[in-house]
Amino acid sequence: TVQIDGKKCYCGNLGCWETVASTEAIVARANEMGFSLVGDSNNKKYLSILSSSETVFEPLLNQIEKSLAVGIVNIVNSLDPEVVILGGVASMIPENSLRNLIDLVNSRVLYATGQNIRIIRSVLHEKGMASSKMIGAALHIIDNKTADFV
């Protein structure tokens, strides 16, 4: 939960990270603001925001940065990872948005974490969801089947 009294999530909880940072949430916010986005899916509409050079989308980019930051800060404060890897469409944010995101996260994490969290893009880019599932499935098979040969 990132908003105590936030919107209801598909999981039944209120204010989940998904309700503010997902492609669906960002596209819904764009629609509320009166934007007409290009694309036949939420991912394509979201990517049209990220790839646009129009300054009219800056409020949406700021929302994306803040929405990602609040969840990442919670993860960092809870788990203290050395690095956070953005995957899927989140990895496609513009370079200046990535810098803003890093600054936001590092300004809000607990002092004990060192306030120098590395946030990088997945090498899998927008194919990350499908690729990571395939890699996970392959690793599962390797882990379970190699024991038969050892």
Find out whether 100 and 63 touch, Cβ atoms under 8 Å: no
Q: What is the dihedral of CA 3, 110, 77, 79, to 10 degrees?
A: 180
Q: Sort 9 into a burial class: Cβ within 10 Å, 0-12 / 13-18 / 19+.
A: middle
Count of CA atoms in the C-beta half-sphere (13 A) of 123: 1
User: Residue 3: inside a domain, yes or no?
Assistant: no
Residues of the domain holding 112:
18-149
Tens of pLDDT, residue by residue over 18-65, are 999 899 999 999 999 999 898 999 989 998 998 888 888 899 899 899
How many domains, in total, are found in the chain? 1
Q: How confident is the model at residue 148, as a pLDDT?
A: 64
Find out whether 137 and 145 touch, Cβ atoms under 8 Å: no
User: Residue 72: inside a domain, yes or no?
Assistant: yes
Tens of pLDDT, residue by residue over 61-80, are 998 999 999 999 999 999 98
- Distance, in Å, from the CA atom of 101 to the CA atom of 72, rounded to the nearest integer, reads 9
User: Residue 7: inside a domain, yes or no?
Assistant: no
Q: Which pTM was predicted?
A: 0.78
The enclosing domain of 112 has a CATH number of 3.30.420.40
